[in-house]
């Protein structure tokens, strides 16, 4: 076989990483998952374990003190953490989401200043794009940034911000030129400690309860001018480019949730006996399991394929179908996760509907993957536009 054969499958190093993360997640993260969900508390045990093993932000390049892991390795980390606890998987996923705008468009000094502490595990990085009246229509945002000498002054409120209040840093999109629409939006780094930054109470959610979701409120937040990410007016372009890379991490999260549910259901049906034999012996159950596994593996292959394209794009290669494959894997994997977790609940019967068993939590957690980082209806619009170009 030629050595330049395209690497569409994970390498031995990727599979070793998977085993390492799975062992860590099973030992240090899974035992706390139910309690984290029940108490709606941040999974500090997961953060500590991930930081200790340098798995909290594996995507950060080596020159900033990071592991320099490729996009596929990052996907595998998120997938394996999500298999144990979806809330905990948002630590590596959102660290990537928050930092990708800086990696794509930030000045070298900005990268050094903010990526280094993230790589060391001293800070987390969130992403603030959405607003109460600007969700799918993100370009309709109202948050303003006004230049004042060597500073920018930000005013507004950002909605649905993952890990808000826990993260030290925030990529914030704000309007700098109201007359230019999307071309009048710029991106900035805001720090939690900046005067005028505050957080609304935590949202009470259906799932991912261990990951705090809060409004970030900006009241006359004055930041140095060099905290702009890229040129003035390039923020929305950066936001869209970011999502091409990070929708893949949501697909990874969805894969992990689905795999966790399938694994639990497989164990259960082999043990549960009815009519004198394990329910795994019944063809109706076997067909459900086969469909769950087939669809999950199909979504996984598309996600890994998208991750490899994302990595090539990060290294400067032009990938014409990156938007298509990233939207497709996010929509497919999240739809599959919802179906697989729902079927897992069904396979456990009445037990599946109780909190004594993890599949009901996984079903609740799966739902958000169809909604955030672009609803699956928006993904289908994006996919269709790519096809009709």
Helices (H), the chain: 12-24, 30-39, 44-52, 71-84, 86-105, 108-120, 235-271, 283-314, 322-348, 359-369, 376-388
317 is catalytic: no
Determine which of 4-8, 39-43, 45-49, 225-229 has the lowest per-residue pLDDT on average. Answer: 4-8
For range 212-229, the mean pLDDT: 98
383/389 Cα distance (integer angstroms) = 10
For range 280-293, the mean pLDDT: 98
- The closest of 346, 377, 379, 380 to 360, measured between CA atoms, is 346
Contact between 265 and 359 under an 8 Å Cβ cutoff? The reply is yes
Give me the pLDDT at residue 5, please. Answer: 46
For range 250-254, the mean pLDDT: 98
Give me the pLDDT at residue 7, please. Answer: 57
Model pLDDT for residues 14-60, shown as the tens digit of each residue = 999 999 999 999 999 999 999 999 999 999 999 999 999 999 999 99
Tokens of 140: 């309709």
Give me the pLDDT at residue 9, please. Answer: 78
For range 102-123, the mean pLDDT: 98
131/98 Cα distance (integer angstroms) = 16
Assess if CATH 2.40.110.10 describes domain 125-233: yes
CATH code matching the domain that covers 236-388, chosen among 1.20.140.10, 1.20.210.10, 2.10.25.10, 3.90.1170.50: 1.20.140.10
- Asked whether residue 1 carries a pLDDT value surpassing 80, the answer given is no
Classify domain 12-120 at the CATH topology level: Butyryl-Coa Dehydrogenase, subunit A; domain 1 (1.10.540)
Model pLDDT for residues 176-191, shown as the tens digit of each residue = 999 999 999 999 999 9
- Asked whether residue 69 carries a pLDDT value surpassing 60, the answer given is yes
Q: What is the helix (H) or strand (E) element at residue 88, kind and residue range? A: helix 86-105
Domain definitions of the chain by residue range: 12-120, 125-233, 236-388
For range 191-206, the mean pLDDT: 98
Query: pLDDT averaged over the chain?
Result: 97
- Asked whether residue 237 carries a pLDDT value surpassing 80, the answer given is yes
Active-site position among 80, 311, 360, 373: 373
- Asked whether residue 4 carries a pLDDT value surpassing 90, the answer given is no
For range 238-253, the mean pLDDT: 98
For range 213-232, the mean pLDDT: 98
Give me the pLDDT at residue 8, please. Answer: 67
């Amino acid at each position: 076989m030629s050595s330049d054969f395209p690497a569409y499958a994970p390498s031995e190093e990727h599979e070793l990483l998977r085993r390492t993360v799975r062992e860590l997640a099973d030992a240090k993260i899974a035992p706390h998952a139910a309690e984290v969900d029940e108490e709606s508390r941040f999974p500090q045990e997961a953060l500590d374990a991930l930081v200790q093993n340098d798995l909290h932000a594996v995507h950060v390049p080596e020159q900033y003190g990071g592991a320099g892991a490729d996009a596929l390795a990052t996907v595998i980390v998120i997938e394996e953490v999500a298999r144990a606890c979806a809330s905990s998987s948002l630590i590596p996923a959102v660290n990537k989401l928050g930092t990708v705008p800086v990696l794509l468009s930030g000045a070298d000094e900005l990268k050094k200043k903010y990526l280094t502490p993230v790589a060391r595990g001293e800070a987390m990085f969130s992403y603030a794009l959405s607003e109460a009246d600007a969700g799918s229509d993100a370009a309709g945002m109202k948050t303003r940034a006004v230049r004042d000498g060597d500073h920018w002054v930000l005013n507004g409120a950002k909605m649905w911000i993952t890990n808000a209040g826990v993260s030290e840093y925030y990529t914030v999109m704000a309007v700098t030129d109201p007359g230019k629409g999307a071309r009048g939006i710029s991106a900035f780094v805001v720090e939690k400690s900046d005067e005028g930054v505050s957080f609304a109470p935590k949202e009470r959610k259906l799932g991912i309860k261990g990951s705090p979701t809060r409004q970030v409120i900006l009241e006359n937040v004055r930041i140095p001018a060099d905290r702009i990410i890229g040129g003035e007016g390039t923020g929305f372009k950066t936001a869209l480019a970011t999502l091409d890379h990070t929708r893949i991490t949501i697909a990874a999260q969805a894969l992990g949730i689905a795999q966790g549910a399938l694994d639990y259901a497989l164990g259960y049906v082999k043990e549960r006996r009815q009519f004198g034999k394990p329910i795994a012996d019944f063809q109706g159950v076997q067909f459900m399991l086969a469909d769950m596994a087939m669809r999950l593996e199909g979504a996984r292959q598309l996600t890994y394929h998208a991750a490899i394209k994302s990595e090539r794009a990060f290294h400067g290669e032009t990938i014409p179908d990156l938007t298509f494959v990233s939207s497709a894997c996010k929509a497919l994997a999240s739809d599959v996760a919802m179906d697989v977790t729902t079927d897992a609940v069904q396979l456990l019967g009445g037990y599946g509907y109780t909190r004594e068993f993890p599949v009901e939590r996984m079903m609740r957690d799966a739902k958000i993957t169809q909604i955030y980082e672009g609803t699956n209806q928006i993904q289908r619009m994006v996919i269709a536009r790519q096809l009709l170009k």
